[in-house]
Structure 1
Amino acid sequence: MALITLGLNHKTAPIDIRERLTFGPDIIVAALRSLTEQPEIDEAVILSTCNRTELYCTHNRSSREQICNWLGEFHGLEPETISPFLYHHQDQECVRHLLKVASGLDSMVLGEPQILGQVKQAFQTANDASTSGKFLGRLFQHTFSVAKQVRTDTAIGHSPVSVAFAAVSLARQIFSDLSQLTALLIGAGETIELAARHLHQHGVGRIIVANRTLEKAHQLAGHFDGYAIGLTEIHNHLAEADIVISSTASPLPVVGKGTVESALKKRKHQPIFMVDIAVPRDIESEVSELNDVYLYTVDDLQEVIQENMRSRQEAAEQAMEIVDLHVEEFMGWLRSLDAVGMIQDYRRQAEQMRDEVLERALKQIQSGKSPEESLRFLAHTLTNKLLHTPSTQIRQAGFTGQSELLEAANTLFQINDKTTQ
C-alpha cells in the first residue's frame, strides 16, 4: 500500500486555473466516490479551498498520470491543460506535505489557523462518504495531533495574520480612517467572520452581511451590530458600501460588472474598495476595468501578507522540526505493517510445528512410553524444527560471505547478547 498526493495551490497555479479545479460541497461526495472507483485506488480524501485543491489517495499501482487524467476528466479539462500546474508527493513526502499543510506551513499566510479546520472537514466528508479507511484515517488523525502540537509549542499563530486580516489591512492603508465607512461582507463563513472581527476592532462605521441563507447572515451580523441581507438584495445595497469583501462557495459570480456600474453612478463615483477572496471568484473579473473601483483577489494580497508574516519565520523553523519528527513516526508505523504479516505467518508456522510434534509426543505416551521420555522427545524435536531453517540459512550466508545477512541474524536473534549473559 502506497500514499500519493496530487494537487495545485497558490504557489503553482494562478487563480483562473485554481477556480476551475475546485470541488464545491455539492459535488465533493460524488467526486470522492468516483475517485475511489478508479483502478488501484482504495482510499481518498479531497481537500479543496480557495488556495489549493489536493487529492490524498492510497493505491497499489496507481500513477500520477492516472490521477491527473481523472482530475481533468471530472472537471471537463484536458490533462495537458492542468498538468503543468500540478505537484505530486509519494509516501514519506506525502505525509510531510499534509503535516505542513495542516500546520499552516504551506499556506499563503504562514501559520494561518483556518486551514486545520478545512483539513478536518475534508477528512470528515471523506469519512462520511466511506472513502477513508485504515491508512488515511490513521494519517489524518496523526496530522491533527501534530498540527495541535505545532500550534501549542511554537509561536506560529501568535501574530494576527490571515487572508481576512490582510484584506482589512489593505483597506486601512487605502482609507486610513474606517469610522465613517460601510463594509459589505458577502458570505458567512470563517473567513468573512474573521474579516468582520478585524473591521469591527478597527472601528468600521457599519457592517452589512449578505448571505444566501439569511439566518446565518443575521447570526453573524448580530455579533458586530451589523445588518443582514440576502444575496439577491446586494444590488440594492452595493452603493452604500465603501468596502466589499466577498468569500462564498458559489460556483458563479454573485456580483457582476453591471451591478457595480449602477452602484458607482449612485455613489457619484466615490471609489469602492473590493476584495474577492473566493475561488471560484465571486466578483466578475471585468469589474477591475471600471474606474473608481479597486478590486483585489487573493493573489493580489500576497504582498500585504508577506509584510505581516516575517515574525513567523523563526516559529516555522521550529514547527518543521516537529513535522519532520512526526513524519518519521508515521512512516515507522506504516513500515511496521509489513512486519505484522510476516510475524503472523511466522507464528502460524511455529504453531503448526508445535501441534505436529505435540501430537506425536501424545501418541508416544498412549503407546506406553513414559511422560518424561515423551517430553524430552517433544523438546528436542520442536527445537530442531524451529532452528533448522534459520541454521541452514546462516550456514549458507557464512559460506557465501553474506556478512550483512549474518549481522541481521545476530540482531534478530540477539545471539551475542544471549551467550555473554
Structure 2
Amino acid sequence: MAFLALGINHKTASVDVRERVAFTPEQLVEALQQLCLRTESREAAILSTCNRSELYLEQDSLTADAVLAWLADYHQLSLEELRACAYVHEDDSAVRHMMRVASGLDSMVLGEPQILGQMKSAYAVAREAGTVGPLLGRLFQATFSTAKLVRTDTAIGENPVSVAFAAVSLAKQIFSDLHRSQALLIGAGETITLVARHLHEQGVKRIVVANRTLERASQLAQQFGAHAVLLAEIPHELVNSDIVISSTASQLPILGKGAVESALKLRKHKPIFMVDIAVPRDIEPEVGELDDVYLYSVDDLHEVIAENLKSRQGAAQAAEELVAAGADDFMLRLRELAAVDVLKAYRQQAERLRDEELAKAQRLLANGNSADEVLALLARGLTNKLLHAPSVQLKKLSADGRIDALAVAQELFALDEGTTDKPPQ
C-alpha cells in the first residue's frame, strides 16, 4: 500500500502551463480509467480546478515517474517541462497534502471554501469511473471530516475572502462608485455566483449574466435581480459594461481583441475593467494590450488576495495542527486495519487447526480411548501444530541472519528474557 499525490498548482506553474494540464469534466472518467490501466495505480482520483491539477493514487509501490510520464503524454506536454513544475507527496505526506488542500490551506486564497466542494466532486467522478476503492475511499472520507473540523473549529473561513471577492475588491479600487457601474458576468458556475453576490451587495447598478444556456443564466440572474443573455449577445452587452468578469469551462477564448476593440469605440473609450478567472482563459491575452482596458488574470489577483488574508493568518496555525492530527489519526487507523487483516487470517488458520485436532480427539473417544489420554493428545497435537509454522520461519530467518526478526518474535509473543530457562511450575 502506498499513497501518492502528484500535480501542479498556482505556486509551481504559470497559468499557461496550468491551462494545458487542466482536465475538462468530459475528459475525467476516461482519463481516470486510462491512468489506472497505464500505471501501477489500483485506485485513482483527479482534482482539476483553475489553480491546480492533482492526481491522488493508491499503488502497491510508488511509481511517480510513470504517472508523470502518463500525464505528460495525455496532455501532449514535454516531460521535462512538466517535471520542472510538478510536486510529489508520498504516503503520510500525501495524506496531509490532501487534507491541507481540502481545508483551503494550500489555496491561492487561504481558507477559500470552494475547494472542498471541488474535492467532493473529484471523489464522486472517480466513484463513477470505478477507480476509487476501499483505501482511497477511506482517505477521501477522512479528508472531508478533517476539512469540516477546520471550518467549524477555526476562524479560517471567516470574512469573505475568495478569488470572486478579490475581483470585486479590485473593481472597487478602479471605480470609486460601483452604484454607477454595470457588470457583465460570463458563465454561471459557483465562482460567478459568488461574484454576482458580492457585486449585488456592493449595489452595482446593473448585472448581466451571459451563459451557454439561457436557463442556467436565468436561474442565477433571478437570485440577484440581474438580466440573463446567451453568449452570442456578449458583443452587444460589452458596449454598456464597465466590469467584465468571466469564468467558464470553455476550451477556447470567448472574448477576442476585435470584439472588445469595437465595444471601446462605441463607448468612446470609456474604460472597461476585466477579470479572467477561467483556466483555460476566456479572454484573449491580447485584449490587455488595448488602451482603456484593465485586464487581470487569476495570477494577477495575488496582491489583492494577500491584503484580504490578514484576518485569516492567525487561524492558519490552528488549522495546520488539526490537519496534522487528522493525517496522523488516519495513518494510525490504516495501520490498525492492516493488523486486523493479518489477525483475521491467523485466527482462521488457528481455528482450522483446532477443528482438525478436535475431530481427531472425538474419533479416539468414539474408539474407546480414555478421556485423559485423548485430552493429552489433543493438547500436544494442537500445541505442535500452532507452533510448527512460526518455528520453521524463525529458524529460517535466523539462518538468514535476520536477528531483528527474533527480537520482533520475542516482543510479539510477549516473552520475558530468560523465559525458556525457567522450569515449569
Gap regions ≥5 residues in structure 1: none
Matched, 1:13 2:1: no
Paired letter, 1:365: L
The DSSP-based 3-state class of the residue aligned with 1:221 is: helix
The DSSP-based 3-state class of the residue aligned with 2:180 is: coil
Distance 1:347 1:68 in 2: 42
Paired letter, 1:240: N
Paired letter, 2:159: S
Distance 1:6 1:399 in 2: 42
The aligned runs of 1:227-376 (5 Å cut-off) are 227-376=227-376
Aligned-residue offset at 1:34: 1.2
Taking only aligned residues, the RMSD between alpha carbons, in angstroms, comes to 2.3
Distance 1:183 1:254 in 2: 17
Paired letter, 1:198: H
Aligned-residue offset at 1:396: 11
Structure 1 stretch displaced more, 215-224 or 391-400: 391-400
Match of 1:55 in 2: 55
Mapped contact 1:185–1:209 kept (Cα < 8 A): yes
Aligned-residue offset at 1:196: 0.7
Match of 1:224 in 2: 224
Runs of 4+ in 1 over 6 A off after TM superposition: 391-404
Shift of the 62–390 alpha-carbon distance from structure 1 to 2, 3 Å rule, reads: closer
Superposition TM-score, scaled by structure 2 size = 0.92
Distance 2:402 2:57 in 1: 39
Distance 1:92 1:77 in 2: 29
Aligned-residue offset at 1:181: 0.5
Distance 1:403 1:41 in 2: 34
The DSSP-based 3-state class of the residue aligned with 1:13 is: coil
Distance 1:99 1:397 in 2: 40
The alignment of Structure 1 onto Structure 2 pairs a total of residues equal to 417
Gap regions ≥5 residues in structure 2: 420-425
Mapped contact 2:256–2:287 kept (Cα < 8 A): yes
Match of 2:147 in 1: 147
Distance 1:87 1:246 in 2: 29
Mapped contact 1:182–1:240 kept (Cα < 8 A): yes
Mapped contact 2:39–2:66 kept (Cα < 8 A): no
Aligned-residue offset at 1:372: 4.1
Identity across aligned pairs (percent)? 58
The aligned runs of 1:87-166 (5 Å cut-off) are 87-166=87-166
Shift of the 228–397 alpha-carbon distance from structure 1 to 2, 3 Å rule, reads: closer
Matched, 1:76 2:76: yes
Structure 1 stretch displaced more, 328-337 or 318-327: 328-337
Aligned-residue offset at 1:159: 1.6
Match of 1:172 in 2: 172
Distance 2:238 2:161 in 1: 28
Match of 2:422 in 1: none
Superposition TM-score, scaled by structure 1 size = 0.93
After superposition, the C-alpha distances for 1:94-137 in whole angstroms (9 at most, x for unaligned) are: 11100000000000000000000000001101111111111111
Structure 1 stretch displaced more, 240-249 or 365-374: 365-374
Shift of the 71–225 alpha-carbon distance from structure 1 to 2, 3 Å rule, reads: same
Shift of the 69–408 alpha-carbon distance from structure 1 to 2, 3 Å rule, reads: closer
Distance 2:157 2:128 in 1: 30
The DSSP-based 3-state class of the residue aligned with 1:279 is: coil
Shift of the 395–256 alpha-carbon distance from structure 1 to 2, 3 Å rule, reads: closer
Aligned-residue offset at 1:81: 2.3
Aligned-residue offset at 1:402: 9.1
Distance 1:397 1:254 in 2: 68
Mapped contact 1:243–1:274 kept (Cα < 8 A): yes
Mapped contact 1:161–1:308 kept (Cα < 8 A): yes
Structure 1 stretch displaced more, 354-363 or 228-237: 354-363
Mapped contact 1:39–1:62 kept (Cα < 8 A): no
